Chain A
């Protein structure tokens, strides 16, 4: 087990290094930060001076090496756009994204599972069919369009919900939360629906098909033959067995919810890391872009690592295979 974990850990480090390398080689194509930094009244001498002071005149392996040197110490450099440490800016923005992501994931799981069970049990009911057809919207419409449609309906036409921002936040010292104020909660509704809709329909469809699969199994028939109540068959026997793949998929999706919050955050002016990343690209704010990409890849890599370790713990075949090889 330990050997497996260590090996996995080193593989993850390599993945991170490669992500950093690819990201850095791409930064050369994003543009030149010097122009946005200096404004209109710059002379050619200024451009040269800034380029040298930022180290942009150096070849990119050197830039990458310098970045790694800092990154190991947790120092991602100073944002070109805001003039503050990139890690500090990201830490300040992360709560907004995490809250949005977790609320979206929560909504997606609750509604996904409930609707999935419902559509599986009432397979031919008109309501179930309607839900199934509507769920196609969630899968097929692009996120920004859903967001704008929701804004149009609930903010402009009905005037119920705010169209942008995070509302009032409460500062807990290390975490600014919007979950404790009314305006904060209201502001969460539209973005979290927008962000979670795709995952919700995905989970719903997954639960439904797994459920249908399980309901065909012999032990369900035997359970019915034993005269168990429907409720107990569906929720105690069938649902439990459908959840294993659902949990796996949901775990992986949480990572992508955080990573793909970019579009939702842009549409709703949600002050999270996704919006920060978009702004950084426009400004060619290399330190922030690099820190963000590293953060996202660390997140993906650690989720993968945890999932792999869980498999190892759950699936005895992996263990047997390893110890067999050692002999």
Chain B
């Protein structure tokens, strides 16, 4: 290639770029992680769902405040005649990005797809027996018993076009485990407010506004183009925001909050996240492997668990470790969840003397030693929280050896029951306590209690938890939830630490609130000049 042609190429390409960058309605969005796949049923994971929400839609979504609002369904409810049936009225006149019409066939197809073996969403639909169309714009879900909160399981369940999936050999969910690569993993055809233009995984995804969107007049829809880049390195992510290369980052590191907030033209907005951080203790086994007490399990004694609970100074963790970016907690449920109450979430009073007394009463006046397992790349300042707790527990004689590991090594310890004292965080996508009980309180077994690493088991309580799934009398159901929480709190199943707080950093021109799901819905965003 001669120098002249090279110059010509350089010149034309820079012109092309120059034109693209001039658009003021472009939002440059960055966060730490990228979406894993475009297949909407393959991965139930934050960044993957967040991108999918721009392109595709479920029947019902949560708006930026977390409230369920209509998307592809306009009305819904449990059937009057049969308590095992939920009915949905579908939105008429909606078109997929490729022009195909949306109707009940697509919904039936998508639900069956989401319930297939390879789907990551089948647990949310485990009670579903049958899905069926009721005319072109009617849809019904039949469950194996009344399911009072069916609708809140559907807010991440995206609808695909049946014809598109069939034409492109994407009827089956991408089987990551079986090593399959489907068309749907790299292409998307939804009904959502934005259309996929291009995507390079881990590098750049470009979306453009869907001008035929059904809600184009209903929502602000002020963003024309979205350029989404994952930036893993914290310092680089903040630098990109400071230098104006991106307009919006979802995860501002706590140590940089002041820096971003004080920069002219930038702001940080904050809200509690749907995630609570807590410690779990093995209280079920007769003896612990990681402690120095022979033949006994100190955590089996309620007084020891209570002592640990009041020996943790949550306010200090908030001030020193989290730089005020946390809400100290008294229960392991985020505040938006059905079953949460301010009384239950009241922060336990920090009292070393009382804790020492409890330890002495339990026969551990001289303390004991135990290993604490902690992730170091999962939650905000996770390892630092554990380090702070080590110091606090030392004051009541518990000698803690901290073992901080990457999440890929930490979580298998909990699932495999290889840790006696561990940190875990929990988000509740259904906004209902049943979700917490199913995974964290129910006896560990094939279908329930998969995250119950505290080895708590109470057959009577298990019956109650399973009963929640079919109790349609909401008042009665709420009473059952309150009863179960009463046991969880009384038995000190877990040691709640705090609710995580989300910090979104953005240019002043971006106008939004923080979604508790950490999922921006760009159709709600406003852009001012």
Contact = CB atoms under 8 A, between A and B. Distances in A.
Contact of B179 (A77, A165, A276, A282): A77
Secondary structure call for the B interface: loop
Given A82-B37, A182-B14, A276-B202, A53 B176 contact: no
A85 to B, nearest CB: 7
A148 B234 CA distance: 11
Interface in B150-206: 174-182, 185-186, 200-204
Nearest to B244: A159
B255 interface: no
Contacts, number: 169
Nearest to A54: B177
A70 to B, nearest CB: 10
Interface in A6-55: 29-47, 50, 53-54
Contact of A156 (B232, B239, B445): B239
B13 A164 contact: no
A166 B181 CA distance: 26
A31 B229 contact: no
Contacts of B186: 84
Contacts of B240: 155, 163-164
Contacts of B488: none
Interface centre among B36, B180, B229 (most CB of A within 10 A): B36
A168 B124 contact: no
Contacts of A165: 203-204, 229
A165 B228 CA distance: 11
Interface centre among A36, A83, A152, A279 (most CB of B within 10 A): A83
Interface string A153-179: 001100100111110101000000000
Given A33-B408, A81-B36, A165-B204, A180 B243 contact: no
Contacts of B120: 38-39, 41
B176 A31 contact: no
A192 interface: no
Nearest to A50: B177
A83 B124 contact: no
A159 to B, nearest CB: 6
A155 to B, nearest CB: 4
Contacts of A207: none
A164 B245 contact: yes
Contacts of A159: 243-244
Interface stretch (A237-245, A261-269, A312-320): A261-269
B177 A156 contact: no
Nearest to B243: A155
Contact of B233 (A38, A266, A283): A266
Interface in B375-422: 377, 405-409, 411-412, 415
A41 B49 CA distance: 14
Interface string B325-353: 00000000000000000000000000000
B242 interface: yes
B176 A182 contact: no
A271 interface: yes
Nearest to A170: B13
A304 interface: no
A216 B239 CA distance: 50
Contact of B236 (A30, A81, A268): A268
A267 B235 CA distance: 8
Contact of A41 (B9, B36, B124, B179): B124
Contacts of B463: none
B67 interface: no
Interface stretch (B38-46, B98-106, B316-324, B489-497): B38-46
B230 interface: yes
B409 A32 contact: yes
B17 interface: yes
Interface residues of B, number: 64
B222 to A, nearest CB: 25
A117 to B, nearest CB: 27
Nearest to B412: A32
A78 B181 contact: yes
Given A83-B185, A151-B239, A165-B204, A36 B407 contact: yes
A183 interface: yes
Nearest to B452: A44
Given A43-B447, A271-B203, A83 B229 contact: no
B123 A42 contact: yes
Contact of A53 (B124, B177, B185, B377): B177
A224 B313 CA distance: 79
B235 A151 contact: yes
A155 B123 contact: no
B471 to A, nearest CB: 21
Contacts of A155: 239-240, 243, 245
Nearest to B413: A32
B277 interface: no
Contacts of A89: 201
Contact of B43 (A39, A45, A54, A267): A39
Nearest to A35: B411
A11 B505 CA distance: 54
A53 B450 CA distance: 19
Contact of A181 (B13, B43, B45, B182): B13
Given A34-B412, A163-B245, A282 B236 contact: no
A183 to B, nearest CB: 5
Interface string B5-29: 0000110011001000000000000
A170 B9 CA distance: 11
Contacts of A268: 236
Interface in A57-115: 77-78, 80-85, 89, 92
Given A43-B447, A82-B36, A282-B377, A181 B17 contact: yes
B236 A162 contact: no
Contacts of A279: 202, 232
Contacts of B236: 148, 151, 163-164, 267-269
A284 interface: yes
A284 to B, nearest CB: 5
A8 B123 CA distance: 55
Contact of B408 (A39, A152, A269, A283): A283
Given A163-B245, A267-B233, A37 B408 contact: no
A53 B178 CA distance: 7
Nearest to B33: A279
B231 interface: yes
B235 A168 contact: no
A80 B71 CA distance: 32
A275 to B, nearest CB: 7
A78 B175 CA distance: 10
A57 B450 CA distance: 19
Interface of B: 9-10, 13-14, 17, 36-37, 39, 42-45, 120, 123-124, 174-182, 185-186, 200-204, 229-233, 235-237, 239-240, 242-245, 377, 405-409, 411-412, 415, 426-427, 439, 444-448, 450-451
5 contacts: A44-B444, A148-B235, A165-B204, A271-B200, A283-B408
Given A43-B450, A168-B13, A278-B232, 6 more contacts: A35-B415, A151-B235, A181-B10, A183-B17, A269-B232, A282-B377
Q: Which 9 A-B pairs have the closest CB atoms?
A: A31-B408, A78-B179, A271-B203, A182-B14, A32-B412, A31-B409, A83-B176, A41-B123, A35-B411
